[in-house]
Chains A and B, each alone.
Chain A
């Protein structure tokens, strides 16, 4: 079954690609897929688009994809929306704002549900990225659920992180809060057709010019009138890429994912431990140790 899918993938079969992405998102046959896909094709840039809800991530990703198609580059989009922590359900609506090009083999869009607490993107996105790069897309765009403290993971997954801000979204101290600007390689003042865009651009530039700041491009883009996409792409290309540095954290993240998958698959076996913990016969760290023993065994 898996070998059949991988064979079809070599023949550029989109349905095989779609099915493999499903398997990965469900945490199925991860080890085998991992081995088959191999290391990432380093020439394919992975660009993450992040920013607060309503700032226009999906719209910008859609317009950027159209711009890149116009430049002759094929594009794959992974668009993350939140999954309910209560029911596991999700309404994946990013496609509404993305181009519909049913005959265009050079554009692939996949909607993904990101579980809460999973760092603004869906699980196993790193493997999905490697799969899409292997399939041969020239650029991979990763749209996050939203900006916030979870974005450090995005920085490890993507080569370049584009942070969107919009006019009239608070005073300059809002940008100074930890975790927002510090993940960005390029800052886009989106909705630049609105009043106040220049002021916001000035505020961000001023903050980023404080001593000790990294070189970060700040530019205005309007998806409404199409202005600024050429400059945005130039800034992305010019940005030093970082996503590929190998360190222990990458392995740790994979190990955490595998552990979470095992927990889901063997939930029943963990019941006795949970019961003893709920009955307060075990304290939390004892229960966690036992759970770890069970899952690692």
Chain B
């Protein structure tokens, strides 16, 4: 295993949520931390996100949601990841998620939820400590 190989992370905006400032800030911070960030843009269908994760052989998927649709879209994506044989890909959620919903997302298989005001260093440290299950 080449230890210097950068982690590949797909950052995704799903559904009709058009607020992409947050995901752009995270994209840049992860890029500057040495990650390879794949950002396919706004208004992605869950199926398109899963196709991207598979074709790009990503280690992580970060889903940004500010539209309140997390309890609908996140389980759909996780279900599609499993169906595509991609359950080794770690899933993160960022954005506006009510406290009460966080345990539900964890139960569905989300590794971590990063809310507003999360220091970038926390996300970077988390990803570095977890590493990759795709390329274990």
Give the B-binding residues of A (Cβ under 8 A). Answer: 14-15, 18-19, 21-22, 26-28, 83-84, 87-93, 95-96, 100, 102-103, 108-111, 113, 264-265
Contacts and interface: CB of A to CB of B under 8 A. Distances in A.
A89 B2 contact: no
Contacts of B28: 91
Contacts of A18: 54-57
A132 B84 CA distance: 20
B57 A89 contact: no
Interface in B35-56: 35-41, 44-45, 47-48, 50-52, 54-56
A87 B1 CA distance: 20
29 contacts: A15-B86, A18-B57, A19-B57, A21-B57, A22-B8, A22-B135, A84-B34, A87-B31, A87-B32, A88-B6, A89-B30, A89-B34, A90-B31, A91-B37, A92-B38, A93-B38, A95-B39, A95-B52, A96-B39, A100-B44, A100-B45, A100-B48, A103-B47, A109-B52, A110-B56, A111-B38, A113-B6, A113-B36, A264-B2
A92 B37 contact: yes
B14 to A, nearest CB: 12
B129 interface: no
A34 B67 CA distance: 47
B58 to A, nearest CB: 9
A110 B55 CA distance: 6
Given A15-B84, A89-B32, 16 more contacts: A14-B55, A15-B86, A19-B57, A22-B57, A22-B135, A26-B2, A89-B33, A89-B36, A91-B31, A92-B38, A102-B48, A102-B51, A103-B47, A111-B56, A264-B2, A265-B2
Nearest to A109: B55
Contact of A89 (B37, B40, B47, B51): B37
A19 B56 CA distance: 9
A95 B2 contact: no
B116 interface: no
Given A15-B86, A95-B41, A111-B56, A87 B34 contact: yes
